[in-house]
Each structure stands twice: as C-alpha cells, then as structure tokens.
Structure 1
Amino acid sequence: MAESEAAPVAGLRERKKAMTRSALQREALRLFREHGYAATTVEQIAEAADVSPSTVFRYFPSKEELLVLDGHHSLADAVARAFAAQPPQLGAVAALRATLRDVLADLPPADRAARLERDVALIAVPELWSANLGLLERALDELGRLVAQRADRDPRDVAVRTLTGAVLGVAVRVFLDAGDDPDGDPAAALDEALSHLEAGLPL
C-alpha cells in the first residue's frame, strides 16, 4: 500500500479510537452523577456505551482511570488562543467572559453539551473532584499566566492569584447549581456570574 493511502487509514483509525474513548468516559461521567461512583460498575458503563466490558478495559485499564479528565473535552489550547486574541482594552474578567463565549460558540452542539456536562460532573461527584485536583491546579496556573501577561504582572502577584481564585469559586458555585437544574444553561449562568465579578460584586 502506498504511503499516501496508509496515512488516511491510520488517521481514521486514531479518530475512531478517540471517539470511542470519549464516548466511554462521557457515559461513565453520566452514570457517576446519576448513581454515584461506587455504585456504578464497568458493566453498566459498557452497556450504556454499547460495547463489551473488555472494550472499556482496553481504553481504561481500571475503573479509577475513568475519573481522570485530562484530555476529555479539554479547552485549554482554545482558551489560551482566544484569550490572547481579545482586544487589549478589555480587563481580565471581561476578556475571560468573551473568551468563554467565543470558545463555546465554536464547538459543535454535542461537544459543547459534553464539555458542560463534564464540568458539572467534576463538581458534583466527590471522587471526580479529588482525582482531578492536579488538573484544577494546572488550570488555575495557566489562567494566572494569561491574566498576568495581559496585565503585565507577575503570575505570583497576589492580585492575579486572588482573581483566578475568585473565578474558580464562581465556576464552582455555578456548576453546583447546574447539578440541581438539569434544564438550566451553565454557560449563560457562568457568564452572568462573571459579569458580577467584573463589576466588582456590587450588592
């Protein structure tokens, strides 16, 4: 087979693997939210994804690995690019709001829904939260780097670290509420909450 013919086949195979992996983790997160992590079995996840348990273990050698969200609908690169592209006159929170609107608007509806479901599950399922503390810390550090660069400050500046901590707190509150309101729009709620942070939280 010619090299030009082999490359598309290999690319298609990798895309199919990525889609299968994503589908397995998406169903796992849904079941963890509905039934709890401890009560959810690999057999239930396999049935929900319409695969065999052996297929689940091929992608995730243990049930615990389904908790790790690194790479599952990650928006890190898209957020970094969109944040850097925001007009320089925007403050950090305004730039972050515009960034999140732009990034989510560019996602296909199914991917947008899956990302928001991922974030709700991360907050709602204790085992997910504890398994991804490192991911959250890295996200805070990256947001701090972006904010510091925009404001021409050191990422360790207390103002930068306070702002990123406040953003995390806002997001946690929004996604906790979203877990109790399946008909709500977490993206719109997050934007509204960040607008209050942007305005200095007037009460």
Structure 2
Amino acid sequence: MTSNAPAPDPQARALLDEPPLGLRERKKRRTREAIRREAYRLFREQGYDATTIEQIAEAAEVSPSTFFRYFPTKEDVVLTDEYDPVIERLIRESPADRTFIETLRSAVIGPLKVLMETEREEMVTRMQLLVSVPALQARSAQQQTEGWRLLADLYAERTGRSRADRHLRYAAAAVGGALNEAMLAWAEAGCVGSPSEVMEDALDFLESALSGY
C-alpha cells in the first residue's frame, strides 16, 4: 500500500515533545509519567491483575494517595494519556478545506508516528493489555463511544456543520471504530511493525465511502 499519511510534522512533534506547561505543571506531568512508567514495568513483569496500586506507588516513590490524585483507578493508568488534548488541538487547527479523513490523517497518524519513535515500549504494553485484560476492554468500549462523539463535535465545530448532523455522527463512529479495530489488529498480531500502517489502511478503506465528509 502506498502511504497517504503525512510524516510526523514539526507542529505535532513540538506539541508532543515540548508541551507549553509552567513549572508546576511540568512537575505534575513528570510524576504522572513516573507512575505510569513503573506501572507498565510491573505489569510486564508480574501481570496486570497481580500488580497492586500500593506496589505501583512504592515503585514510583509516591504515596498511594498521590497515585489516586493522578489516576482514580488502576485501569486509568492504561486508558488515559496526555495526548488527547494534542489531537483535539490539531483537529481544530486543521485547514478548513480538508475532509474528515484528511483531518484525521494529520491529527492522529502524525502524532502516532512520533509516539512510536519515542514511547514504543509503553505503546506496545498498553495495547497488549487492552487485548488481554477484560476489565480494560469494558472501559475501553465506553471510551470509544465518547471518543466518536468528540470527533464529530470537533469536526462540526471546525467546519460549521451542525452537531446534530446524523451523517457526521455516522462518519465519526465508522472512522473511530475502524481506527480502534486497526490498533487491536496490530496488537493481536504481536505489535510487529508500525500501527500507523494499519491505521492508514483503515482510513484508505473508508475514504471513498466518506468522500462527502
């Protein structure tokens, strides 16, 4: 397949590598990243179910109460990240003449390539957990629905379409579902190669059907 997605652009890389945060926010982010890093290490070493919040907190050198300030549950360590606001911003700033698919190619695939260069091990761990832990699968399904609606709302905001446009919501659900299935297929195949390739393939598959969006 010939890739249509852009390489990671300077804007996406800058947003991921150097978030515009003050000193306090940078410290909070470092703490959050330390908790997640140690949690993923423990998940790899002893399994998700066998790893306790107390063990994660001790490994990250924080108290359990500090853990809960950053992550309400153990599931949230896997299911949340710092990059959703980046993707939202890139969608909002995407040129108005881009189609829905073109917008997502830039706002999702570009940053994903950056993440796979800088945080591949954590990305692989996260996806392996999502295909193997039932509790994470249940929460992830709920998040997917919320994500599809957010995609539709963001695109409606950028293009002036109505948020009540049923066809736009269909398109967002189709694209969101396809991208999720692409990531799951990549994980189930052993996380070999780049997930951006299977996500591009999913977008290629849908592009002609959603050409009006």
Q: TM-score w.r.t. structure 1 length?
A: 0.70
Larger Rg: 1
Alpha carbons 1:69, 1:132 under 8 Å: kept: no
User: Quick one: which of 50, 57, 60 aligns to 2:64?
Assistant: 57
- The structural deviation recorded for 1:127 is 0.7
| Alpha-carbon separation, structure 2, partners of 1:124 and 1:190 | 21
| Alpha-carbon separation, structure 2, partners of 1:180 and 1:169 | 16
Show structure 1 runs of 5+ residues with no match.
1-6
- The structural deviation recorded for 1:130 is 2.0
Return the structure number with greater relative CO, CA threshold 8 A, min gap 6: 2
Q: Deviations over 1:25-60 (max 9, x none)?
A: 43366469xx4x44x2328964xx9828x8573444
| Alpha-carbon separation, structure 1, partners of 2:72 and 2:157 | 36
Which residue does 2:198 correspond to in 1?
Answer: 189
Q: Deviations over 1:79-99 (max 9, x none)?
A: 122112222222111111121
| Alpha-carbon separation, structure 2, partners of 1:79 and 1:116 | 20
Alpha carbons 1:170, 1:193 under 8 Å: kept: yes
**Structure 2 residue matching 1:90: 3-state secondary structure:** coil
Matched, 1:144 2:189: no
| Alpha-carbon separation, structure 2, partners of 1:185 and 1:97 | 15
Matched, 1:41 2:51: yes
Percent pairwise identity: 19
| Alpha-carbon separation, structure 1, partners of 2:26 and 2:95 | 38
Q: RMSD between aligned alpha carbons?
A: 3.7
User: Quick one: which of 159, 173, 177 aligns to 1:169?
Assistant: 177
Which residue does 2:168 correspond to in 1?
Answer: 160
Which residue does 2:4 correspond to in 1?
Answer: none
CA change 1:161–1:84 in 2 (3 A) is: same
- The structural deviation recorded for 1:159 is 0.5
| Alpha-carbon separation, structure 2, partners of 1:70 and 1:43 | 13
Matching of residues 94-113 of structure 1 within 5 Å: 94-107=102-115, 109-111=117-119
CA change 1:14–1:81 in 2 (3 A) is: closer
| Alpha-carbon separation, structure 2, partners of 1:15 and 1:188 | 30
